């Protein structure tokens, strides 16, 4: 049948079972929005307050569901407003298709109104991108975009479509999407045997699990490997939830804000096994002093990551799930382990501590959120102290339960991501742990949550400063607090109510439970809880820049 380019776009979205798209209209996408209007019974369009909110919502939707998130924006500033969200998804390997409108083909390259070379701009932060100038190529490009976004190491793909292409008519034939194949194991039996021998002979093995474990769906295999061999496990920020946070072999985060147990274990291990992690600077800190007595084994689907940041002695590039299954069948079962017992004793000796002095502390707030949600909520975060407190204190036991901007560290990410996650997982309670600095950046998305009756909770840890930057200024810049105080008198409760949300103010520990219970009971309105915390509360532990991770500041 003959369809317009805009109609073909809708049909291709339906081919890929897209049920939700986040976007903001404009001139270059009018034809697409007209087609969306006619397809509203099949595809739900969420009108965000800003294009960046759309990209973060698509990202949160993808992380929470494992599906491809889809966002849509017009040409020029609409497209450029997506860029931060696209880069966020790229750094954290999130499958996303970003669709942008473009000026007509006749106007390309002429500095036309709202023209920008969005494919050139996004080339470094997309897995692939396209500009579509021919309607006959549109369907195949869209199908390929969805395939690329999901295949192998996931990532965002941008499809820029000229306006005349969305109006042009061509023949459309429905096709079944090309299935993403289950990647082969990617390593030889000899490499598996060698890795198993190394694990069996190690006395102090240690595992760092990253976001790649969740992407690979290898959570069960990770748990089996750890428990069979009594190997302690730490997480990167992106890996939280890939190993049960309640397991006695779990040691918490590793690196700059890692627990003392994790960082000591790394420093004393004789075999360091990284799985689906990329050895970022926040994990390894001083590369010359990282795991000084350990051989490094790195298991990852992306061969470009192996050896990029650290010397790897046992590289295993391939399908993480299949590699772990093979290793589990080859390794010896350990009934006991002095090393594991030592790690467990360290956990008791070096717990995360905070003052319990009758003052409202973020640690207490996160503990109460964990208890009242029975550890079953999806937690999104902004970026800064709020992010690390949420990572340290809430115990994540399931994959896709912790959603945060890890690689790019995008302030303003959490609210949009929270909306996307809640829409994707309506059966779950989704809570955005925020700082007031990050929250200000995209707080207009509260209007989106109100309009669509998305019952998210914003736990706003309000210290009236840019907390993490201020903490660095105090610890490493002799307390020269340059431009980090943002005590602007904003009444966040009144602001929430102005948007149509529920606003609650909390200043004392004894008010926390009632506020959270009220928020958790809301079924069709977002809730903002303004927790007034002390500006001098800090994230500990912290490793000073350039120091080995064993040299932590704890208070």
- Give yes or no for a contact between 254 and 274, defined as CB atoms under 8 angstroms apart: no
Neighbours of 315 (CB within 10 A): 18
- Is 531 part of the annotated catalytic residue set? no
CB atoms within 10 A of CB 346: 19
Q: Is 16 helix (H, G, I), strand (E, B) or coil?
A: coil
* Closest CA relative to residue 295, chosen from 318, 320, 269, 316: 269
What would the two tokens of residue 18 be? 């897209």
CA nearest to 538, candidates 368, 385, 351: 385
In the annotation, is 243 catalytic? no
Active-site position among 11, 51, 191, 268: 51
Residue 113 annotated among the catalytic residues of the structure? yes
Catalytic annotation on 22? no
Spatial neighbors of 495 by CB under 8 A, at least 6 apart, are: 443, 503, 528
Q: H/E/C letters for each residue in 468-485?
A: HHHHHHHHHCCCCCCCCE
Residues 366, 390 contacting (CB under 8 angstroms) = yes
Single out the catalytic residue among 67, 114, 295, 474.
114
114 as an active site residue: the answer is: yes
Please state, in angstroms and rounded to a whole number, the distance separating the CA atoms of residues 241 and 456.
Answer: 20
Catalytic residue (choose from 113, 123, 175, 308):
113
**End-to-end CA gap in the chain:** 68
Cα separation, 318 vs 504, in Å, equals: 49
Written as one string, the DSSP assignment of 355-375 is --SSS--HHHHHHHHHHHTTT
Handedness of CA 102, 108, 109, 115 (dihedral sign): negative
Catalytic hit among 468, 473, 499, 531: 468
- Which one of the listed residues 127, 150, 163, 322 is annotated catalytic? 163
Contact assessment for residue 156 and residue 91, using Cβ atoms and an 8 Å cutoff:
no
Max CA-CA distance within the chain? 72
Tell me the CA distances in angstroms from 419 to 225, 230, 433, one per residue in order. Answer: 35, 39, 13
Name the E strands within 354-466.
378-381, 402-403, 430-435, 457-462
| CA–CA–CA angle 135, 140, 146 (5° rounding) | 125
Buried b (16+ CB within 10 A) or exposed e, 58-79: bbbbbbbbebbbbbbbbbbebb
Cis peptide before 541 (omega within 30 of 0): yes
Buried/exposed code over 80-117 (b: 16+ C-beta within 10 A; e: otherwise): bbbbbbbbbbbbbbbbbbbbbbbbbbeeeeeeeebbbe
Q: Give the separation between CA 277 and CA 260, rounded to whole angstroms.
A: 20
> Is the separation of the CB atoms in 147 and 66 below 8 Å?
no
To which residue do tokens 């970003």 refer? 98
Residues carrying an active site annotation: 51, 113-114, 163, 468
């Amino acid at each position: 049948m003959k369809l317009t380019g805009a109609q073909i776009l809708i049909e291709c979205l339906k081919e890929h079972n897209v049920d939700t798209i986040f976007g903001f209209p404009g001139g270059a996408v009018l034809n697409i929005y007209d087609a969306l209007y006619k397809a509203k019974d099949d595809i739900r369009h969420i009108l965000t307050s800003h294009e960046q909110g759309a990209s973060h919502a698509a990202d949160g939707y993808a992380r929470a569901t494992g599906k491809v998130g889809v966002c849509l924006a017009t040409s020029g500033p609409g497209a450029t407003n997506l860029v931060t969200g696209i880069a966020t998804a790229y750094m954290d390997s999130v499958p996303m298709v970003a669709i942008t409108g473009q000026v007509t083909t006749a106007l390309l390259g002429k500095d036309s109104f709202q023209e920008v070379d969005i494919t050139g701009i996004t080339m470094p932060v997309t897995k692939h991108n396209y500009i579509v100038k021919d309607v006959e190529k549109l369907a195949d490009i869209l199908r390929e975009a969805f395939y690329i976004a999901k295949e192998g190491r996931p990532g965002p793909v941008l499809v820029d479509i000229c306006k005349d292409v969305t109006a042009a008519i061509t023949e459309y034939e429905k096709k079944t999407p090309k299935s993403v194949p289950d990647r082969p194991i990617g390593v030889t039996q000899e490499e598996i045997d060698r890795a198993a021998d190394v694990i069996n002979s190690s006395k102090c093995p240690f595992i760092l699990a990253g976001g790649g474990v969740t992407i690979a769906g290898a959570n069960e295999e990770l748990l089996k490997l750890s428990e069979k061999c009594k190997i302690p496990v730490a997480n990167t920020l992106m890996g939280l939830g890939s190993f049960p946070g309640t397991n006695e072999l779990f040691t918490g985060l590793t690196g700059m804000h890692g627990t003392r147990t994790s960082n000591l274990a790394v420093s004393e291990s004789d075999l360091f096994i990284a799985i689906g992690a990329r050895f970022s600077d926040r994990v390894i800190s001083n590369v010359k002093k990282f795991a000084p007595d350990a051989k490094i084994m790195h298991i990852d689907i992306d061969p470009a990551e192996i050896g990029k940041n650290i010397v790897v002695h046992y590289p295993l590039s391939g399908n993480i799930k299949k590699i772990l299954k093979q290793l589990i069948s080859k390794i010896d079962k350990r009934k006991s382990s002095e090393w594991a017992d030592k790690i467990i004793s360290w956990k008791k000796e070096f717990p995360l501590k905070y003052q319990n002095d009758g003052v409202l502390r973020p640690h207490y707030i996160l503990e109460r959120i964990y208890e009242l949600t029975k550890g079953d909520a999806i937690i999104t975060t902004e970026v800064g102290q709020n992010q690390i407190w949420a990572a340290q204190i809430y115990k994540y036991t399931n994959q896709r339960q912790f959603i945060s901007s890890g690689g790019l560290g995008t302030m303003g990410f959490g609210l949009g991501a929270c909306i996307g996650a809640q829409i994707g997982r309506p059966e779950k309670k989704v809570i955005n742990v925020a700082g007031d600095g990050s929250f200000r950046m995209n707080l207009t998305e509260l209007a989106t949550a109100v309009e669509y009756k998305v019952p998210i909770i914003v736990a706003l840890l309000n210290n009236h400063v840019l907390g993490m930057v201020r903490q660095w200024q105090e610890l490493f810049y002799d307390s020269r607090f340059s431009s980090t105080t943002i005590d602007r008198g904003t009444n966040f409760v009144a602001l929430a109510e102005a948007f149509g949300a529920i606003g609650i103010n909390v200043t004392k520990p004894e008010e926390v439970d009632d506020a959270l219970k009220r928020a958790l009971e809301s079924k069709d309105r977002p809730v903002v809880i303004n927790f007034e915390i002390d500006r001098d509360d800090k994230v500990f532990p912290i490793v000073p820049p350039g120091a080995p991770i064993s040299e932590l500041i704890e208070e």
